Structure 1
Amino acid sequence: MSIKIALAGNPNCGKTTLFNALTGSNQFVGNWPGVTVEKKEGKLKGHKDITIVDLPGIYSLSPYTLEEVVARNYLINEKPDAIINIVDGTNIERNLYLSTQLMELGIPVVMAINMMDVVHKSGDKIYINELSKKLGCEVVEISALKGTGIKEASEKAVKLAKEKNKSIPIHEFTPVLESVLNSVEAKIGFDVSEEQRRFFAIKLLEKDEKILSQMKQVPNIEEEINYIENEMDDDTESIITNERYLYISSIIKDCYKKTNKEKMSVSDKIDKIVTNRFLALPIFALVMFGVYYVAVTSVGTIATDWANDGVFGDGWNLFGLAIPSIPSIFESLLNAVGCVEWLKGLIIDGIVAGVGAVLGFVPQMLILFLFLAFLEACGYMARVAFIMDRLFRKFGLSGKSFIPMLIGTGCGVPGIMASRTIENDRDRKMTIMTTTFIPCTAKLPIIALIAGALFNGAWWVAPSAYFIGVLAIVCSGIILKKTKMFTGNPAPFVMELPAYHMPTFGNVMRSMWERGWSFIKKAGTVILLSTIVIWFSQNFGYSNGSFGMVDDMNDSILALFGGIIAPIFTPLGWGNWKSTVAAITGLIAKENVVGTFGVLYGFQEVAENGSEIWATLAKSMTTLSAYSFLVFNLLCAPCFAAIGAIKREMNNAKWFWFAIGYQTGLAYIVSLCIYQIGTLITTRHFGFGTVVAFIIVAAFLYMLFKPNKDGTTHQLKRNIKLQKQKI
């Protein structure tokens, strides 16, 4: 018999960590809501017939955000055999609100109180047996991070699922409310199981929009709601919420004893500094500067130079032993078997050169991932979301918009999907449009290539790329909020700040490896295929009236295609066909930009004192045009995978094309202004492009600083409309 057990709980309570421990899966674990935005499934270790389902973190079963809809729909429609309700032991009272709702579903519940190691360390006491007795369900102490208690929790859940024991809390509702609930419960006529009648009756009184659509089948429901509101002088949603918290408070006073109430914790002391109104942003800027400086400019550069010059270059020396490079190994093998020249060229000049150009940057990425994983796991990144809420709110965005952007530093796809945590539809759409402005891991090779080839490894290039992304987001928020499409107040931001703790070595290394391996797999699939296509189109074309291999690359299909499009990018300073083709192949996967240059410039021929691709690229671009090229690729439409995620999350063709057009258009005009105004400053050359750049800058500054009168007017009109509806 197959069994399904759902993991449900508040955001940041440890669900995904528990899921990994139960199933052996390596799901990403983070310290902010939205890490799990869709349900994930895995088999319980040692049990092929038992499926564990990791649901998104939710605060209640009243769906305001998309991830709450995902969780509630699964629990109501799929009806798992049991629920493991993960509760944060350090914030038990607030977590129990969801617990009471889960138990009303009539599904067997095991409550797993997580982070008990932190609770014990603080000196607090949770009386498990008393809590279990009052709630009417099994309660287990666990520490998902340290792996204690999780086996007991899973065994109890499996036992309950097999026995189908219901867990229904004994709510101490007022007699009036209890009477009405029983009346409504008896009148529910639509397709609801007997166990769920209580839940649906409460949802009806809470005026839940998802349930109200079916309310016509419940006779006299309006009268029941009006009766309660008149009797208790409040709206029914507030009444039931208040009743729940009164019930929870009555339980907590007997089951939970908190010590050292006045004493500041270590986390509180650290937060006084890192979340300080004046110090928070400078500290964050310093931290991110340090991360990118070490990962890209200093230690990361040494590691990448070793990979490029040794592994994919002329080989390296290990304890006096000369080890050949990968290109030379392939060349020797192909010569030994007498491989034909065109196939030899495909393998060495196409596959090895293209994929090698990208894989050479893996050491830098792993170092960057290591730092980010540590910052996420220790709890600092959760503070960053809180810090950025202050800043973002001034620009019309919620701090929740920063959470997808943090996740997007790894990959834009989960970053875009994490926008589901934002209730406000306008804010969610704006976040989807701007999330990919933050450099993801796929853009890191482009940053490293430009920094090394054109700026001699200058320390400021990598951090500037990150802050250009942040600036693009901030400016987009200010400007778009002044348009009719996006006007309105930002969504409220509610988030638990986890206590600071030293991350486990395994968790940090797992996070680093997951991101790194994802990048390597892409290099072995998408980029491999792309480099083959690029090599073919580079080496074949029309010459002397016939189609075939060409000696001059300028006669190739690639040169013909790139030459047609290249003039579009001439005002940006890099209107040659090679750079154009590299930027376009970046739409398949951003790493392709480097892989394409690797094929076009013959990356396997690397000198000992530096990569040949760097020297060749430097000859085709100036530092100004290179920076323009970098900015364009950072801000323009992302890779196909992220574009697909945008299409799915927008769920509207017009909004999708608007998002792609906005990203690409912004990238173009910013790059144009950088190159044209930069050229005026460095060479004093003034032309038509310079005039266009100044007009763009003037229009941009006008939109940036003009009063948001339209937003106020539209908001006022909306408020008047809402008031009329209430009347």
Structure 2
Amino acid sequence: MINVALAGNANCGKTTLFNALTGANQFVGNWPGVTVEKKSGRLKKHKDVVIQDLPGIYSLSPYSPEEVVSRRYLIDGRPDVIVNVIDGTNLERNLYLTLQLMETGLPIICAVNMVDLLKKQGKHINLKKMEYLLGVPVIGISALKKTNLDVLIDMMIEEKHKEYSFPKYDDRLESALSMIEDQLRGVVSDEDLRFYAIKFFEQDDDVWGNVALDSTRRSEIEELIKTAEKVFGDETGSIVANARYDFIARVVDMSIVNEKDFVMTASDYVDMVVTNRILALPIFVLVMWLVYYISIQTIGGAGSDWVNDVLFGELVPDTATVLLKSWHVASWMQGLIIDGIIGGVGAVLGFVPQIAVLFLCLGILEDCGYMARVAFVMDRIFHRFNLSGKSFIPLLISTGCGVPGIMSTRTIESEKDRKMTIMLTTFMPCSAKLTIIGLISGTFFPHQSWVAPSAYFIGMAAVVCSGIFLKKTQLFAGETQPFVMELPAYHLPKVLNILRYSYERSIAFIQKAGTIIFASMVLIWFLSSFNFKMQMVSQQESMLKTIGSIFVPIFKPLGFGDWHACAAGFAGLIAKENCISTIQVTFGNPSNAVFDKLMLSHFSSFGAYSFLVFNLLCAPCFAAISAMNKEFGDYKWTLRAVGYQTLLAYLAALVICQSSVILSGSYTWLNVLGVAIGILIFAYGLVIKRPAKTVDAESQLAKEGI
């Protein structure tokens, strides 16, 4: 059995290579005790070769869970060979990890990926010279186009891999490392001496705490470190980092030829405008308005109108009615099928065209490279409000679904920033919430194109304001982590990629409608058709109205104190799509024209908008809550998050509704009091400065069980 470890920076093409090498022979799970995904697979046509896809990392310093996992696997697991995947378009950054991998002494193959992109960029890497300088095998590949993968496979399964000497740094540093190795000899294995010597010199806490050294050896190493710091006039961590970068600079200077070093590319010219400090945010707002306008108001809206008015408004219900009557089906069963299942599920499926168009637009923006610029722009904004720039990626993913967005927070190194991002991620309008956005904007604001995109920016505002407030609390106080990412060159989107992106998310939405929402609608129909004595009754005497009416006083100040809306809100905890289908069922599954009239008669425009804002920001669906609980690893944190989200949603909806009443002119002192209380609470959270107590980082982590 041959064990191969794939290691590399994030976004270097490692996962693409892993998929190409293993195909369907993959196993996915979590590393023991860590919420970091573990992906293994067997090499195609070589079942005796197991490939381990290590998490994307930038170094072997154990600061993030990913780095801890990778380092432990390499040092303790000792794979037979490491395939270091290097992004050829960013050689300097990637080689920093390469040197650290070489310092482990494990057999290594450097696979320089994206050689096809290098050619387009006018760059050329002399792989033979690079191999000579590093002293390890180097091969150029394209994981996407599967270039040279057969050669790489042959190199992986060779019985003996080429031995190499460790990278040699500054003579003074090498002297210090040699003396530390002498102190470690007999304590760690000879093959690990170089790695542990460097880690002791860097004053790596994990190594100093776990390697058993007697007091004499420990004090000798401490004296060596103090002497080296005096000689270099710098800290040991910086000494090693500078030595590595000096080595990398020599390799790059002698290996890479860049024909366009002094030529502005088309991407550079576009970025001068798109990432401009003044223009970037207005452009982003305009782009998102256009996306929602196309998705909700025009193309997507036209498709949804046909599905609602024709397909589920006439064809399906009428056909089902004729068939059920011809089969002499009981009237209660006809009500369940037509009013409950077809009416409820159909109300959700009516938004599929809007969702498909939305993801089509987002797919274009992502594939062409614009969304990477958005992350860059938002990082500048987020840092001003004490948020990590890395938080934007989970937020972006959450526009599809909150569950993967929550799971993607694993890439955030800081435990506090990660927990805060988990708490805020579901503020973004996911595809399920798009059904509520579509209903409210289409019914109450048919000619107002600002309503749909405003939901997106309300979610962003909730994230930013929460970041300001939460960073002032003891739970989240501390410095935010820097965000580093590579901006890809702009390119024309690939039609197949975009269509697949839209198709997969639309199908996932439809599957959800066919399972969770189907079951929910059976339950909602039952509750809305029977009383507590199990007698079939009208909507006004049903269990659902009784249950919904209990909560009417709570939501009345928000403008939707109606049992239909209250019942819909609680059904939305199962799945947010249930909000719309539940309202449809509680109104007796009328035609769309009648349904619109009923909605307009039961809710004011701003009461409906308040309903939209509340459901946008309040506790997410059960699936997302479950994902939060898994990532937090503590039900108390989950309760904190759900409680905070619901409270913020209530306050925001209260201020919006009561402000609209005041603006209309027909208000009382209670309306003014409600707005004043809401604004004061927001102001207190945003403006009042509460100095955070200083807490020892190690004791805090120990307290949280990390």
- For normalisation by structure 1, the TM-score amounts to 0.87
* Structure 1 position 171 matched with structure 2 position 172: no
Matches within 5 A, 1:200-219: 200-217=196-213
* Structure 1 position 237 matched with structure 2 position 223: no
* Structure 1 position 630 matched with structure 2 position 616: no
Aligned residues: 684
Equivalent residues of 1:6, 1:84 under 8 A apart: yes
What is residue 566 of structure 2 aligned with on the other side? 580
* Structure 1 position 377 matched with structure 2 position 367: yes
Deviation at 1:561, TM superposition (A): 1.6
What is residue 404 of structure 2 aligned with on the other side? 414
Which secondary structure does the structure 1 equivalent of 2:576 belong to?
coil
Equivalent residues of 2:399, 2:431 under 8 A apart: yes
What is residue 33 of structure 1 aligned with on the other side? none
Q: Which has the higher contact order (CA 8 A, sep 6+)?
A: 1
Deviation at 1:24, TM superposition (A): 4.9
What is residue 575 of structure 2 aligned with on the other side? 589
Which secondary structure does the structure 2 equivalent of 1:501 belong to?
coil
Q: 1:5 to 1:296 in 2, by over 3 A?
A: farther
Which secondary structure does the structure 2 equivalent of 1:710 belong to?
coil
Identical amino acids, percent of aligned pairs:
49
The gaps in structure 2 that reach 5 residues or longer are: 27-34, 701-706
Q: 1:709 to 1:581 in 2, by over 3 A?
A: closer
Matches within 5 A, 1:508-547: 508-542=498-532, 547=533
Equivalent residues of 2:275, 2:373 under 8 A apart: yes
Deviation at 1:688, TM superposition (A): 2.3
Deviation at 1:336, TM superposition (A): 4.0
What is residue 695 of structure 1 aligned with on the other side? 677
Matches within 5 A, 1:636-655: 636-655=618-637
| Range moving further from structure 2, 565-574 or 105-114 | 105-114
What is residue 31 of structure 2 aligned with on the other side? none
Which secondary structure does the structure 2 equivalent of 1:548 belong to?
coil
What is residue 31 of structure 1 aligned with on the other side? none
| Range moving further from structure 2, 304-313 or 102-111 | 102-111
Equivalent residues of 2:301, 2:354 under 8 A apart: yes
* Structure 1 position 454 matched with structure 2 position 440: no
What is residue 221 of structure 2 aligned with on the other side? 224
Matches within 5 A, 1:180-579: 180-189=179-188, 195-196=191-192, 198-217=194-213, 220-231=217-228, 232-233=231-232, 234-314=234-314, 325-456=315-446, 458-542=448-532, 547-579=533-565
Equivalent residues of 1:108, 1:164 under 8 A apart: no
Partner letter of residue 691 of structure 2? D
What is residue 132 of structure 1 aligned with on the other side? 131
Deviation at 1:330, TM superposition (A): 3.4
In structure 1, distance between residues paired with 2:75 and 2:529: 58
CA RMSD of aligned residues (A): 2.9
Q: 1:4 to 1:587 in 2, by over 3 A?
A: farther
In structure 2, distance between residues paired with 1:156 and 1:249: 27
Which secondary structure does the structure 1 equivalent of 2:261 belong to?
coil
Equivalent residues of 2:369, 2:489 under 8 A apart: yes
Which secondary structure does the structure 2 equivalent of 1:574 belong to?
coil
Q: 1:571 to 1:44 in 2, by over 3 A?
A: farther
Equivalent residues of 2:368, 2:492 under 8 A apart: yes
| Range moving further from structure 2, 245-254 or 437-446 | 245-254
Equivalent residues of 2:102, 2:167 under 8 A apart: no
Equivalent residues of 2:12, 2:87 under 8 A apart: yes
Deviation at 1:156, TM superposition (A): 3.3
Deviation at 1:438, TM superposition (A): 1.3
The gaps in structure 1 that reach 5 residues or longer are: 28-35, 315-324, 723-727
Partner letter of residue 571 of structure 1? P
Deviation at 1:616, TM superposition (A): 2.6
Deviation at 1:384, TM superposition (A): 1.2
Deviation at 1:476, TM superposition (A): 1.4
In structure 2, distance between residues paired with 1:511 and 1:225: 55
Deviation at 1:300, TM superposition (A): 0.8
Deviation at 1:617, TM superposition (A): 2.3
Which secondary structure does the structure 2 equivalent of 1:437 belong to?
coil
In structure 2, distance between residues paired with 1:278 and 1:106: 49
Q: 1:50 to 1:353 in 2, by over 3 A?
A: farther
Q: 1:555 to 1:482 in 2, by over 3 A?
A: same
Q: 1:417 to 1:22 in 2, by over 3 A?
A: same
Partner letter of residue 597 of structure 1? I
1:291-340 Cα distance to aligned partner (Å, 9 max, x none): 111111111101111221232221xxxxxxxxxx3333433443344333
What is residue 15 of structure 2 aligned with on the other side? 16
Equivalent residues of 2:25, 2:43 under 8 A apart: no
Deviation at 1:486, TM superposition (A): 2.9
Partner letter of residue 239 of structure 1? I
Which secondary structure does the structure 1 equivalent of 2:531 belong to?
strand
What is residue 156 of structure 1 aligned with on the other side? 155
- For normalisation by structure 2, the TM-score amounts to 0.90
1:235-269 Cα distance to aligned partner (Å, 9 max, x none): 33223222322332332232222223222222222
The structure 2 residue matched to 1:710, chosen from 681, 691, 702, is 691
